[in-house]
Amino acid sequence: MSDYVERTAYFAGAPVVLVIGCGGLGMSVARALGRQAALVVVDIDPQHLARSVDALTLAGYSVRGIACDITDPAQTRALGEDLAKGPGVRVLAHVAAVGMSIGDWRKMMDVDLIGAHLVAEAVGPLMVPGGVGIFISSLASYLPPRDAALEALLDAPMGQGFEAALVAHHGREPDFDWTYNYAKLGVNRLAERLAIEWGPRQVRAVSVSPGMIDSPMARAEGSTLPSHDGTEARVTRADKAREIPLGRQGSMLEITSVVTFLASDGASFINGIDIPVDGGHRARWRATGIIER
């Protein structure tokens, strides 16, 4: 009996889809986008990365993995150097993020905002014409009030004294909820700036802000969410879902479907915006005065 010979995908030598983060949503995005392009998937955990690559390979995807701590400038530079040896990047899907389970608001900011900046810096020069960077943000990005000083801080999170300046602006060390809110607002603003920077090379950049989504990360964060009523109260996820005009939370597939569209030629003139995928939750928040954005 002859040894099994793996099929080589016809697009194996074409520009790749780069997915940052092998969590639940990252893998959902990889499975969707990898149907028509070779995949490179990135995660900080080498063992989890290996299992993810094995699962995708077994399913028939053309994929390889690169272990990388996206908060480490040296490792993100090495990621860029590795990718520079290939045919370029057609889609950057930046999905990696952490919640309060990380246990340190500074580490959360490092992963959720600084990591996005470092990845964009490393991968941006490798994006090919017609490419797109899709940055997964959150509906929480709309919660910070409009504030030019805050926005200037979030635009330069790798600057000296960033954390101290953020603490001073906030009035105290931000809790995990506010850290997440600020980080995701920074991600939206990063995508908007990249749209201008990358546009002359015919490369787009957008952010996507999921609302309440049933995902492994959401389940790991517990059964309650901030009430957003001006107090420190928290409410159950079921009660929070009742705020949403559609009356339910969303699924990872509903986010992945939007990402798939944004990565396609059908979205070739969509650039520099954030797209909430939230069942109308942002509209409810705006109508009731919870947010200004």
Domain ranges of the chain: 16-221+250-280
pLDDT, residue 224, reads: 84
What's the chain's Rg over C-alpha atoms? Answer: 19
Q: What is the pLDDT of residue 11?
A: 73
**Which pLDDT belongs to residue 1?**
46
Instruction: Specify the DSSP class assigned to residue 156.
Output: -
How far apart (Å, rounded) are the C-alpha atoms in residues 260 and 269?
15
Find where tokens 């954005």 sit.
Answer: 293
- For the beta sheet containing 39-43, the strands, ordered from the edge strand earlier in sequence to the opposite edge, are 63-67, 39-43, 16-20, 89-94, 127-136, 204-210, 274-277
Superfamily of the domain at 16-221+250-280: NAD(P)-binding Rossmann-like Domain (3.40.50.720)
Which of these, 205, 200, 185, 51, lies nearest to 120 by C-alpha position? Answer: 205
Give me the sign of the Cα torsion angle 253, 222, 290, 174.
Answer: negative
Contact (Cβ atoms closer than 8 angstroms) between residue 210 and residue 139: yes
Q: Which pairs count as long-range contacts for 6-9, CB under 8 Å and 24+ apart, including other chains?
A: 7/60, 8/62, 9/38, 9/62
The parts of the chain modelled with pLDDT lower than 70 are 1-7, 10, 12
What 3-state DSSP class applies to 188? helix
